[in-house]
Amino acid sequence: MARYPNPIRPENFISFPQLFRGQSVVYNVATMAIETDLDLMLRVRDGDTASFEILLRRYRLPMVSYFRRMVRDQGLAEDLAQEVFLRVYKSRERYQPEAKFTTWLYRIATNLALNAIRDRKDEVSSIPGDDPDGGTEFERFVDPQPTVEQRLVQGDRERMIRHAVEALPENQRAAVLLHKYQEVDYRQIARILRVSESAVKSLLFRAYETLRIRLEPMLREGRI
């Protein structure tokens, strides 16, 4: 049986309905950028739901993207992202700033993702199509208005890379996603995965070596 509510819907967040029912507080973009995660979470601990919404806005899309690449299911990724924030809110009064907020956040997320993968081992399958979070690994380097042929080639190589990453063992996949896509450093990854920094480096070395071997034929053919 799954270890997370199924399904997780916005109406479950009855403790702070303004976050999910169209009554959101409007924030100044500069304010959101200036306030640190620590400042916000400490205010959340004191009962400030407005600060919680800023954190939600700041990290919801990265959470969905991380879960999507981990569990390979868009709907489940969105449910798990909501579960992360529900757990953060429920445990707000026990929050202690012993590590970066993102370390704590991704530790919760990684545990949920690994549990979901184990619970759905025989059900998880890759979903064809473009990356659902709207981003691409190559978008910063390509023509903003590519031709049809360019879009086909770009989509093909992105799927190849994504599928290669998704085929990695769970811990290696998590390490790569945190390091490459979420730009988390070795020390944070070690805390998230509860391993040593040397173990993180070993995980990443093995993962990138596996990806190099798997993608090398495609590189030789000019497909990526």
Residue-wise pLDDT for 102-117, tens only, equals: 999 999 999 999 999 8
User: Before 7, cis peptide (omega within 30)?
Assistant: yes
Please state, in angstroms and rounded to a whole number, the distance separating the CA atoms of residues 18 and 22.
Answer: 7
The hierarchical CATH code for the domain 140-224 is 1.10.10.10
Any idea which architecture 10-125 has in CATH? Orthogonal Bundle (1.10)
Q: What percent of the chain has pLDDT over 90?
A: 48
At residue 19 the predicted structure's pLDDT band, cuts being 50, 70 and 90, is very low
Long-range contacts of 40-49 (CB under 8 A, 24+ apart): 40/101, 41/92, 41/95, 41/97, 41/101, 42/95, 42/97, 44/88, 44/89, 44/92, 44/95, 45/92, 45/93, 45/95, 49/16, 49/18, 49/19
Closest alpha carbon to 85 in 32, 25, 16:
16
Instruction: Give the model's confidence band at 224: pLDDT under 50 very low, under 70 low, under 90 confident, else very high.
Output: low
What is the pLDDT confidence band of residue 97, given thresholds at 50, 70 and 90? Answer: confident
Domain boundaries, the chain: 10-125, 140-224
Check if the beta carbon of residue 117 is closer than 8 Å to that of residue 195.
no
* 122 exposure class (CB count in 10 Å sphere: 0-12, 13-18, 19+): exposed
Q: In the chain, what percentage of residues exceed pLDDT 70?
A: 67
| pLDDT tens profile 63-83 | 999 999 999 899 999 999 999
Give the DSSP H/E element, type plus range, for residue 185. none
The pLDDT, as a whole number, for residue 189 is 94
DSSP 167: T
Distance between CA atoms of residues 66 and 64, nearest Å = 5
Given pLDDT bands bounded at 50, 70 and 90, which one contains residue 214? confident
